[in-house]
Structure 1
Amino acid sequence: MILSQISYLDCIAFLVFLAPQLLVQIGLLPLLTWLTPALPSLAPKAVAIPYQFVRERFFVPHQHRAPFVQKATPFQDLVIRFVRYAFANMPAFLGRVFFSKAVSLPFLRFRMLRHGIVTSPIRWTEIKRPNFGGVWIVHNQQEQPDVIVYYCHGGGFSMGSSFFYMEFLLAWVAMLKNAGYSNPALFALEYTLVPDATYPTQLHETVAGYEYVLSLAQSSVRVVVGGDSAGATLILSFLLYMSDHTDLRHQKPGLAIMISPWVTILSRENRNTESDYLNSSSLELYGRQYIGSKVSAYDPIVSPGTCRDLDKWREASPEQGWYFLYGSEEVLGPETRRLISLLEKTGKEVDSWEEPGGIHAWPVASLYLGETREARLSGLKSIVEAIKNRIHS
């Protein structure tokens, strides 16, 4: 199921679904308690966004614009400006509502109906177990999958849900089917968000989710693990964790797909750029909340980028290696490049796609914001090709 670009009508519908959930999930009094003192500083910044948009797009020479603005459509540019504002200024408890199932699922249904689709041709089932949860998506529920993607969503460990990614995940399974797999499937982990729990709860849930996927797979080498941002961090942590545990060491996945990974939780290399919507100060706040007070920020299982041991990474690497996707303008870009360089020294196959002018998790965002079908699917297309080349149907 591949839908068209997000429209202004979709944006309005999203706000309609969001507004009541802010009251339901947060409450009027807590909202006002946060908003009242914050409004004097937030309002001028919000009002400035349209002015900055017009000035840079129409009065600044093209070569002097931010790299992302040079390639972005007006709609993409405006949306990313508001996302950048929200990430820098809005607390995580608001973000949790934005990305929650209660908002995302009705929004997906609205998008489907707008395209004349009542029921998705690819079915999904919500899985709830005592030690993990998630969403199981499979082309044919009656047959064993021939390839399974195990995915962890992003959101700074503090927000996000698999349901917010559902359109992206459904498109991924559909494209795997079109690529020649007879019954592709995907399991998206719903891990516990901060501050409800801190590390190592999320890691333990990731391990439990992988064991569940193994119970459904033909073999571990037909499993692709992946994630974006903080979700990619969990996958990196999990792979390092596997290398220390005999019961998992011989059940390594076939391939790892890393979309804009948050490689090192606390790093001086994480610096703001003109283009990216991530904010280094907010990242540090979320990172410290995830780590908590009982473990070190330099523990490689917590923060994988702190591991410089080639043997460790060689043992942790999937059977068919790695595929990284990230943008040249990312706040997290320097640490990603450093990890890729390290992994290349292990002798494992490491491919990467650094998009010029690209920003954080653009392969995911472009599915919603891309102007043409080709632009929307370019990131997913490269991912499916990487899987097809390493894990034969």
Structure 2
Amino acid sequence: MEGFLLPYQFVTERYFTPRRHQSPFVQQATGFQDFVIRCVRYAFAFFPAKIGRVFFSKGVALPFMRFRMLRHGFVHPPVPWREIDLGVTHGVYISHDIEEKPDLVIYYCHGGGFSMGSAYFYLEFLMAWVTLLKEAGYENPAIFALEYTLVPDAAYPRQLDQTVAGYDFVCSIVKDSSRICVGGDSAGATLILSLLLYLAKHSHRYQDLKPSFATLISPWTVLVSAENKNTASDYLNAESLHLYARQYAGSERSLDEWLVSPGRCIDGDMWAKASPSSGYGFLFGSEEVLGPEMRKLVALLRRNGCPVSVREEPASIHAWPVVTLFLSDTQGDRQKGLRDLVKMVKQAIPPPPMKSKDALRNGFSAINS
């Protein structure tokens, strides 16, 4: 019965409801965007995660990406990429010149509630990001996207251990952590926040290896919270999120641990210690289920002297920079969130003086091994 309500609700709200009574997202969305987000909202609330897991998997995501590339006139991906085996897990390395040392590395963890998603589904988004970074003045920007284990195949601390291993790899190839920006969206941003707290906790080992900046797209800061409430606009469902959170944590007690649920850490000194040298950039929508807890973390960071820039998109939804890339009609709209990210990164980690390829090339044995 619920499935029959979806098209009815779409037609009723979009075409027979006065604009002032429509949800903020519907007021500014195209018909296509509106209908797709309604379908995603329905699926998130009623479909088991294993269905979404198939859709976002490598086997489905890569053909989907090739189809979209062909639509935009690309026979081959505009930026080369290569799979990297880390032993405990693997990831995808993206760079215009894979054999050349990067002058900036974005270390990225994808979202999906810990239960779905893959680095391969994000390839189009990440390749566009690398291209825009190149246009912004970096000579050879790169992104390493982690492919961590999903629940229920494994629970915490497996994913955090893999995130640390991915960061160690990035440090090994860039050699200078001041050229590293860590980032992620949703559950991936949770892992990045956990990583930063982990680096602070183990500062004796990572004393000179802190990243310069963190870009956090709609971070899931407190995994189970009464503040996580459904909204008329967002496609997330709080009940489903809390189910995935418990699967990830493995126990109710673990949900209070700040390496599991970073927003549970209210120690300002710890956050100051964990902060990248150039701080944080937050991007999220004003209509998010996770919005209240995100705003709390932003306020906590600012109270403790951490540099924080925030881009809260009016009338928008969860992970809007990623969503707009796939659902918007024009290149400007598709790249809107990415250009905000590039602006934040460039301000935090300016491109170094231009050098010749011969000066930058170092054999790059870590990638070729």
Q: Same-fold call, TM > 0.5?
A: yes
The structure 2 residue matched to 1:286, chosen from 244, 249, 273, is 244
2:193 is aligned, of 236, 246, 249, to 236
Instruction: Give the aligned partner of residue 316 of structure 2.
Output: 358
Contact 1:145–1:218 under 8 Å retained in 2? no
Match of residue 98, structure 1, among 48, 55, 58: 55
- Which amino acid counterpart does residue 230 of structure 1 have in structure 2? A
Q: Say if 2:326 is the partner of 1:368.
A: yes
Residues 96-245 of structure 1 correspond to what in structure 2 (within 5 A)? 96-245=53-202
Partner of 2:6: 49
Q: Secondary structure at the match of 2:256?
A: coil
Deviation at 1:249, TM superposition (A): 3.4
Q: Give the corresponding residue for 1:390.
A: 348
Deviation string for 1:39-91 (max 9, x for gaps)? Answer: xxxxx212221111111111110011001001101000000000000000000
SS of the aligned residue for 2:201 comes to: coil
Q: Which residue of 69, 72, 75 maps to 2:32?
A: 75
**Equivalents in 1 of 2:94, 2:58: separation in Å?**
16
AA paired with 1:176?
L
Question: For residue 195 of structure 2, what is the amino acid of its counterpart?
Answer: F
Report the Cα distance in structure 2 between the residues aligned to 1:97 and 1:132, rounded to whole angstroms. 19
**How far, CA to CA, are the matches of 1:142 and 1:65 in structure 2?**
52
What secondary structure does 2:183 align onto?
strand
8 Å contact from structure 1 (residues 233, 262) kept in 2:
yes
Any conservation in 1 of the 2:78–2:127 contact (CA below 8 Å)? no
Match of 1:333 in 2: 291
Give the TM-score normalised by the residue count of structure 1.
0.88
2:219 maps to which residue?
A: 261
- Partner Cα separation in structure 2 for residue 274 and residue 139 of structure 1: 41
**Alignment check: 8 A CA contact 1:144 1:218 kept:** no
Q: Distance in 2 between matches of 1:349 and 1:225?
A: 15
CA drift at 1:218: 4.0
Task: Tell whether the 8 Å contact from 2:246 to 2:252 is kept in structure 1 after alignment.
Answer: no
Amino acid at match of 2:214: A
Mean Cα deviation higher: 240-249 or 377-386: 240-249
The equivalent position to 1:379 in structure 2, one of 328, 331, 337, is 337
1:41 corresponds to which residue? none
Letter in 1 for 2:67: F
Q: How far has the Cα of 1:162 moved from its partner? A: 0.6
The one-letter code of the counterpart of 1:152 is C
Q: Supply the AA of the counterpart residue of 1:64.
A: H
Query: What is the RMSD computed on CA atoms of the aligned residues?
Result: 1.0
Separation (CA, whole Å) in 2 of partners of 1:354 and 1:361: 11
Between the aligned partners of 1:382 and 1:110, the Cα distance in structure 2 is: 26
Q: SS of the counterpart of 1:256?
A: strand
Q: Which runs of 5+ in 2 are unaligned?
A: 352-369
Figure out how many residues of one structure are paired with residues of the other and give that number: 350
- Distance between the aligned counterparts of 1:274 and 1:111, measured in 2? 30
Q: Is the 8 A contact 2:86 2:165 kept in 1?
A: no
Helix, strand or coil at the partner of 2:74 = coil
- Aligned residue type for 1:308: I
Residue 139 (structure 1) shift: 1.2
Q: Percent identity?
A: 58
Secondary structure at the counterpart of residue 296 of structure 1: helix
Separation in 2, partners of 1:221, 1:46: 50
Code of the aligned partner of 1:233: T
- Does the 8 Å CA contact 1:146/1:218 hold for their aligned counterparts? no
Q: Partners in 2 of 1:310 and 1:182 — Cα distance?
A: 37
The ranges of structure 1 where at least 4 consecutive aligned residues each deviate by more than 6 angstroms after the TM superposition are none
Give the SS at the match of 2:143: strand
Q: Is the 8 A contact 1:152 1:189 kept in 2?
A: yes
Question: How far did 1:374 drift?
Answer: 1.5
Shift of 1:201: 0.3
Contact 2:86 2:166 in 1 (8 A): no
Partner SS, residue 84 of structure 1: helix
Letter in 2 for 1:221: S
How far 1:294 moved relative to its partner?
Answer: 8.2
* Native 8 Å contact 1:99 1:164 kept in 2: yes
What residue in structure 2 maps to residue 308 of structure 1? 266
What amino acid maps onto 2:49 in structure 1? A
